[in-house]
Structure 1
């Protein structure tokens, strides 16, 4: 079954709109985890801060991912600010990630898809490739992006550099911890954000992997409903469980490869 055929059979357009409650959730999901990690790290409880940092990184990915597809329910400036501020907090130009992610949807797993390069690697190869992946994402955007993208990437990289300089120059320990953990998280992006959801899907790249099972999707904040996202990229993450239910009801025969 083709992508176009699936889109015709599943009702999804009503899922694009967010209620005020849903909009507030999507735009503030990161804050409890960020402040909890900072507070714990400030008092030296780094072992307890680490899972909070991991959940901040995960929810940050969810937030900016919705921003890529204009699914945060906010205006252009606030969406831009979300991407810019998360660039500083997550230690990577999110506009560079956006540029490559939009290309990923257009050229999924082809030679032009620089985001998807690690999908064809082994799991350990994708992990080792992580630093190269992050360098390539920025390099490609600066080379192929339009002026607006380039300006945003340069501004974000400058803000990241200024933030890191202040943190390390003034020896702010809890923020030094945050910077190091975020950089480590970025280096794992090729594995967690690409390989896990796209490995062994070369024959039908648009049919990404997905995840069923309530507790798994709860602890991953619904970020592994990736089949659903590729089929209906305009649907916000908070609506993906409902979308998955509709797909299962209308197309029970559709092959669904598990993420984990």
Structure 2
């Protein structure tokens, strides 16, 4: 069954719309994790801060990912602002990530898909590839991205550099902790955001892996409904549990490879 045939069999367009409450959730999900992690780090409780930093990183990914697909329920400027602010807080140019992610959907797991390169590696190879992955997505965007993408990437890189320089110059320990943890998170993206959801799917790239365990989806904020996301990228993350029900009802025979 082709991607277009799947789309025709599932009712999904109504799921693109967010209520006011859902819009507030999608745009503010990162805040409590960010504030708690920094508060704990400020008082020197770095080990206790780690899980909150991890959840900030995860919810940040969810927020910018929805922004990539214009699924935050906000206007163009506020969506851009969300990507820009998260670039500084997450220590990478989110517009560079966006450029490669949109290409990932268009050229999934082909030679043109720079984001998906680690999908064909071993799990440990994907981890070791992480720093190269982050360098490559910035390089590719600056080389072949539009003028708008290049301007945004340069602005974000400069802003990150200024922020990091100020933090290290003034020796702000809790922010140094935050920067180090975020950089480690970015270096693990080739494994967590690519390999886990795409390994061994090259025969049918549009059928990414997914996660059907309720508690696992709760602790990962629905970020591993990747099969569903690739089939219907315009559906916001908060609507994916409902999309899952519709897909399973309309297409019970569709292959579902577990993420973890």
Q: Structure 2 length as normaliser, TM-score?
A: 1.00
In structure 2, the residue matched to 1:159 is 159
Shift of 1:205: 0.3
The 2-side partners of 1:171 and 1:212 are apart by 44
Q: Is residue 222 of structure 2 the alignment partner of residue 222 of structure 1?
A: yes
1:207 aligns with 2:210: no
Equivalent-residue separation in structure 1 for 2:55 and 2:72 (angstroms): 19
5+ residue gaps in structure 1?
none
Give the Cα–Cα distance (whole angstroms) in 2 for the partners of residues 207 and 191 of structure 1: 18
Work out the CA distance in 2 between the residues paired with 1:190 and 1:66: 19
- Provide the residue aligned with 1:32 in structure 2: 32
Cα deviation 1:218-244 (Å, max 9, x = unaligned): 000000000000000000000000001
Separation in structure 2 between the aligned mates of residue 224 and residue 239 of structure 1, nearest angstrom: 13
Separation in 2 of the partners of 1:51 and 1:191?
19
Measured against aligned partners, the alpha-carbon deviations of 1:52-79 in whole angstroms (never above 9, x if no partner) come to 0000000000000000000000000000
* Distance (whole Å) between structure 2 residues aligned to residue 148 and residue 254 of structure 1: 39
Cα separation, 1, equivalents of 2:111 and 2:131:
19
- Superposition RMSD in Å: 0.3
Question: Could you tell me which residue of structure 2 aligns to residue 59 of structure 1?
Answer: 59
1:93 aligns with 2:93: yes
The 2-side partners of 1:4 and 1:141 are apart by 29
Tell me, yes or no, if structure 1 residue 172 matches structure 2 residue 178: no
Runs of 4+ in 1 over 3 A off after TM superposition: none
Q: TM-score, normalised on structure 1?
A: 1.00
| Structure 2 counterparts to residues 2-21 of structure 1, below 5 A | 2-21=2-21
The offset of 1:213, in angstroms, is 1.4
Residues 30-87 of structure 1, C-alpha deviations (whole Å, 9 max, x = no match): 0000000000000011111000000000000000000000000000000000000000
2:23 match: 23
Q: How far apart, in 2, do the equivalents of 1:245 and 1:49 lie?
A: 35
* Structure 2 residues not aligned, in runs of 5+: none
Number of matched residues?
Answer: 260
Q: Secondary structure at the match of 1:137?
A: helix
